[in-house]
């Protein structure tokens, strides 16, 4: 922010300059918007029903009718690719909705209450932090049964500690500040203090953290699908589409290649966005 005050330029211009200087941010955001658009308008964009099986047209190479060919059941790959954005983004959304609130709540409570509560909560956080995340997630889904919600639960189960740590550190800093003392003095306390006055200050850094984590979550979700632990067939999902294509990889390679490429691009988009956000927030990086 010091750049703002010393160089006397308007905030809008500052943001514009930053954005124009950060192609990764704009590219990343564009990729994610496109994927989001695909997911939302899939029924209008997809040329075919993604579950429609035309056994006469099995394993077709890309053509005028089927731009990306068909799979072993004669389903149109392009349509499945477009619909496949849905479970991926849905799972990411579930994970975010589960893990960020849990982590942030634990962190805020620990940082605000201090003492024994803080020590025990952070102890648990440290322990979960050194768990093998991916492995536990796979084991969890394998034991609890596959599905979108279980997948999200599994990934959220081990991903919250980073948020807890960050929220605790910031709350502890805030707890010593005049800002909270003033809020307490005018009689704001309890949950209203924590969630009305502490949460908004802790949230921005959690959002950056989230952007950094999302690409990893997408890859883990794809991994679940690849191992057959994601959504149930015949729902189109990128990871399981790669797995379907594995059988015929040496002959009809595009069946596995295209959904994998979709995973790559989406995850790439989130990584670019996170990079750009970090540069934007942390001027030391430029």
Partner 1 sequence: MTDALLTVEDLTISFPSDNGPVPVVKSISLTVAREIVAVVGESGSGKSLTGRAIMGLLPCRAHVRASRMLFEGIDLQTLGPAGWNGLRGSGMGLILQDPKFSLNPAHRVGRQVEEALLLHTKLSARERKQRALDMLARVGLPDPERVYASYPAALSGGMGQRVMIAAMLINRPMLIIADEPTSALDRGLQDQVLTLLRSLTEEFGMGLLLISHDLQQVSRYADRVIVMRQGEIVERLPASELAQAQTAYTRGLWAARPSFATYGTRLPVFEDSGRPS
Partner 2 sequence: MQKAVLRSLPEPHNSRQPRWRELSLLGPLSKWLMSFAMTLLGLALVTFAMTRLSPIDPALQMVGDHASQSTYQAARLELGLDQPLPVQFLRYLQQAVSGNFGQSISTGQPVASDIARTFPATLELATAAIIIGSLIGLTLGIAAAMRQGGLIDAIARFVSLFGYSVPIFWLGLLMLLLFYARLHWAPGPGRLDVMFQYTVKPVTGFALIDTWMSGKAGAFRDALAHLALPAIVLAFHALAGISRLTRASILSELGQEYVLTARAKGASLSRVVFVHILPNIAGTLLTVIALAYASLLEGAVLTETVFAWPGIGRYLTTAMFSGDMPAILGATLVVGSCFVLLNALTDVAVARIHKGQAR
Residues of the shown chain interacting with partner 2 in the complex, contacts defined by CB under 8 A: 123-124, 126-128, 130-136, 138-140, 142-145, 157, 215-216, 219, 222-223, 226-229, 239, 242, 245-246, 249-250, 253, 256-257, 260, 263-265, 267-268, 270-272, 275
User: For residues 164 and 115, what is the distance between their CA atoms, to the nearest angstrom?
Assistant: 16
Phi, psi of 206 (to 5 degrees): -65, -35
What end-to-end distance do the CA atoms of the chain give, in Å? 14
* Nearest CA-CA partner of 32 in 277, 210, 217, 272: 272
Q: Is 33 near partner 1 (CB under 8 A)?
A: no
Distance of CA 45 to the CA centre of its chain: 24
Choose among partner 2, partner 1, none what residue 215 binds, the Cβ cut-off being 5 to 8 Å by kind.
partner 2
Choose among partner 1, partner 2, none what residue 9 binds, the Cβ cut-off being 5 to 8 Å by kind.
partner 1
Q: Which of residues 18 and 197 has its CB atom nearest to partner 1 in the complex?
A: 18
Q: Is 1 near partner 1 (CB under 8 A)?
A: no
Q: Is 7 near partner 1 (CB under 8 A)?
A: yes
Q: Which of residues 208-267 bind partner 1 (CB under 8 A)?
A: none
The nearest distance, CB 246 to partner 2, in angstroms, is: 6
Choose among partner 1, partner 2, none what residue 136 binds, the Cβ cut-off being 5 to 8 Å by kind.
partner 2
Phi, psi of 200 (to 5 degrees): -60, -30
| Longest distance between any two alpha carbons in the chain, whole Å | 76
Radius of gyration of the chain (CA): 23
Which of 17, 36, 52, 139 is in the footprint of partner 1 by CB under 8 A? 17
Choose among partner 2, partner 1, none what residue 124 binds, the Cβ cut-off being 5 to 8 Å by kind.
partner 2
Q: Which of residues 44 and 116 has its CB atom nearest to partner 2 in the complex?
A: 116
Q: Which of residues 101 and 260 has its CB atom nearest to partner 2 in the complex?
A: 260
Phi, psi of 237 (to 5 degrees): -145, 135
The nearest distance, CB 264 to partner 1, in angstroms, is: 34
Give the bridge partners for 163, in sequence order: none
Query: What angle separates helix 23-40 from helix 254-281, to the nearest 10 degrees?
Result: 130
CA dihedral 29, 77, 45, 42 (to 10 degrees): -70
Q: Which residues bind partner 1 (CB under 8 A)?
A: 3, 6-7, 9, 13-14, 17
């Amino acid at each position: 922010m010091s750049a703002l005050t010393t160089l006397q330029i308007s905030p809008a211009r500052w943001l514009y300059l930053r954005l124009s200087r950060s192609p990764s941010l704009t590219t990343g955001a564009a990729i994610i918007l496109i994927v989001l658009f695909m997911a939302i308008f899939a029924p209008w964009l997809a040329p075919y029903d993604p579950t429609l099986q035309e056994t006469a047209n099995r394993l077709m190479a890309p053509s005028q009718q089927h731009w990306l060919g068909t799979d072993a059941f004669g389903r149109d790959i392009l349509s499945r690719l477009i619909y496949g954005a849905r479970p991926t983004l849905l799972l990411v959304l579930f994970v975010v909705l589960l893990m960020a609130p849990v982590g942030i709540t634990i962190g805020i409570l620990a940082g605000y209450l201090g003492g024994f509560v803080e020590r025990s909560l952070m102890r648990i956080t440290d322990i979960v932090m050194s768990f093998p995340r991916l492995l536990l997630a796979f084991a969890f889904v394998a034991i609890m049964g596959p599905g979108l919600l279980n997948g999200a639960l599994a990934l959220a189960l081990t991903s919250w500690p980073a948020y807890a740590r960050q929220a605790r550190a910031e709350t502890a800093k805030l707890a010593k500040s005049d800002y909270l003392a003033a809020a307490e003095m005018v009689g704001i306390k309890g949950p209203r203090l924590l969630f009305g006055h502490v949460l908004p200050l802790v949230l921005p850094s959690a959002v950056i953290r989230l952007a950094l984590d999302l690409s990893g979550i997408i890859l883990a979700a794809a991994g679940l699908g690849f191992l057959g632990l994601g959504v149930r067939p015949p729902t189109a999902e990128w990871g399981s589409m790669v797995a379907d294509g594995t059988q015929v990889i040496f002959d009809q390679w595009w069946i596995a290649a295209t959904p994998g490429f979709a995973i790559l691009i989406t995850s790439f988009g989130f990584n670019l966005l996170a990079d750009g956000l970090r540069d934007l927030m942390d001027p030391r990086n430029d």
